[in-house]
Amino acid sequence: MEDPHTQQSSHAQQSSRAKQDSRAQQDSRTERHSHAQQQTRELPSWLAAEQDYEPQTDRSSFVQKSALSIAAVLRQLRLDDGTSARFSPSAPLKLVLLVLALVANSLSRNLMVTLILLACVLVRALFLNRSALARVVAVSLGAAGLAFIISLPAILLGQSTSAVRLGVKALVSTGLAMEVALTTPASQLTGALRSFKVPNLVIMTIDLTLRNIVLLGERALETLIALNLRSVGKDSDKRSSIGGVGGTLFIRASVSAQDTYDAMVCRGFDGTYDPTSRTTFRRIDLLWVGSTILLALLFLHLEGILFA
């Protein structure tokens, strides 16, 4: 057993040592602190050096233009997937009527049919939403202007009316096609194609293409933005990145296509489209068919084929 006195003295020694230690620690802390303060006051030379780095200007028009055009296409595709209105005919009938109207417009030798169709196009355009209306007008006027410019030599030869007539015909045809495209959901269009006995493979290709354009477009946009962010200064090796973007997209496209197909198979898709489940005829179709027959009779009469 130890003597209690010696125990007490050893305690006292220990406590004095501990005090000394803590003082020493405090001293070392204050030393370090002051040292650190000294360090912050003196910036390292490499950090203090004035930077005058200006990246060399580089023409990145390829990346920017590609990104902008992809974004524009995406915006248009997302704009409206096509919404049919209350008085729209069902999708298959709509396609048939479109083809008939385009043929009648192209074949007619007088302006009457074209003008009646123009009235139809304009009335439908009245009820489109603003962005869709702007697209229909822009595309149709573009087509009409092109047709007019192509037939400008006719004006020089003294046939000014035919140039105007061709322009109006182009306007009507393009307007009709645009309105059908903008007022029909993509799924209904592919369903309508099936009811015209279009092969399954063709429909599936169109269907998957329509769906994948948006997805791949988004990825292309991401890749281009990434490329743009990383290429600071002059990038002499830009051409190789074009291949990189394309290659990455191709790999992603094939992976995505395989994934989509697998998902469809998992959900019971056996490669055939069922036309009946997708297309439902509406009551309003009868009205459309009736008025089309009337217009067709009028067309034949005006062309001198019927009741001439």
DSSP for the chain?
Answer: ---HHHHHHHHHHHHHHHHHHHHHHHHHHHHHHHHHHHHHHS--HHHHSPP---PPP---HHHHHHHHHHHHHHHHHHH------TTPPPHHHHHHHHHHHHHHHHH-SSHHHHHHHHHHHHHHHHTS-HHHHHHHHHHHHHHHHHHHHHTHHHHHTT-HHHHHHHHHHHHHHHHHHHHHHHTS-HHHHHHHHHHTT--HHHHHHHHHHHHHHHHHHHHHHHHHHHHHHH--S--TTHHHHHHHHHHHHHHHHHHHHHHHHHHHHHTT--S---HHHH----THHHHHHHHHHHHHHHHHHHTTSS--
Q: Cβ closer to other proteins: 12 or 119?
A: 119
Q: x/- string (CB under 8 A) for other proteins, residues 86-115? A: ------------------------xxx--x
* Smallest distance from other proteins to CB 213, Å: 26
Q: Cβ closer to other proteins: 71 or 141?
A: 141
* Smallest distance from other proteins to CB 160, Å: 7
User: Could you tell me if 150 and 163 are in contact, meaning their C-beta atoms sit under 8 angstroms apart?
Assistant: no
* Region 259-278 residues binding other proteins, contact defined as CB under 8 A: none
- Residue 189 has a CB neighbour count (10 Å cut-off) of 21
Q: Cβ closer to other proteins: 116 or 182?
A: 116
Half-sphere CA count of 195, side-chain side, radius 13 A? 19
Among 71, 73, 100, 164, interactor with other proteins by CB under 8 A: 164
Size of the site for other proteins (CB under 8 A): 21
Q: Cβ closer to other proteins: 134 or 297?
A: 134
Interacting stretch for other proteins, rule CB under 8 A, among 5-13, 156-164, 213-221, 255-263? 156-164
Q: Cβ closer to other proteins: 119 or 150?
A: 119
Q: Cβ closer to other proteins: 168 or 182?
A: 168
Among 70, 95, 97, 168, interactor with other proteins by CB under 8 A: 168
Measured distance CA(122)–CA(176) in Å, rounded: 10
* Smallest distance from other proteins to CB 138, Å: 10
Q: Cβ closer to other proteins: 125 or 264?
A: 125
* Smallest distance from other proteins to CB 123, Å: 5
Among 161, 209, 254, 291, interactor with other proteins by CB under 8 A: 161
Q: Cβ closer to other proteins: 36 or 134?
A: 134
Q: Decide: is 182 part of the binding site for other proteins (CB under 8 A).
A: no
* Region 114-153 residues binding other proteins, contact defined as CB under 8 A: 115-116, 118-119, 122-123, 125-126, 130-131, 133-134, 137
Half-sphere CA count of 201, side-chain side, radius 13 A? 0
Interacting residue ranges for other proteins, rule: CB under 8 A = 110-112, 115-116, 118-119, 122-123, 125-126, 130-131, 133-134, 137, 160-161, 164, 168, 302
